Homo-oligomer: A and B are copies of this chain.
């Protein structure tokens, strides 16, 4: 494969991991739902149908998923570890959400890592690819 290979960009995915979050908030479906709805509103995403939610038994983690016309949004929480993870996959251009500030405000996250991955890339790109970690911060 040479560097002339076609790059088939079919979207951008943000993989977001928030650490040091409030365990109580991570067990609260309404709190997690509000964050997802804020992402959807702020980025003008369009939900197909409605979100799917599940609260697991003890320790009470929450999963939420939205099928979007722009691809999908998913969230998982791990209250026993103080961690929430988000996947936002957009096949249409959207600005970068301010994950660091918003998750710090909404979940008391102390560390937020944001990785950006271009989806659909061919092997020429993958050979050279390094993950892009942005916005790591500690309050």
Contacts and interface: CB of A to CB of B under 8 A. Distances in A.
Contacts of A40: none
B120 A85 contact: yes
A17 B129 contact: no
A38 B82 CA distance: 33
Given A67-B63, A89-B76, A121 B113 contact: yes
B113 A115 contact: no
User: Chain A contact residues: over half helix, strand or loop, or mixed?
Assistant: strand
Interface in A97-139: 111, 113, 115, 117, 119-123, 126-127, 129-131, 133, 136, 138
A9 to B, nearest CB: 9
Contact of A115 (B65, B83, B117, B127): B117
Interface of A: 1, 8, 10-11, 13, 15, 17, 19, 48-49, 52, 54, 56, 63, 65, 67, 69, 71-72, 74, 76, 78, 81-83, 85, 87, 89, 91, 111, 113, 115, 117, 119-123, 126-127, 129-131, 133, 136, 138
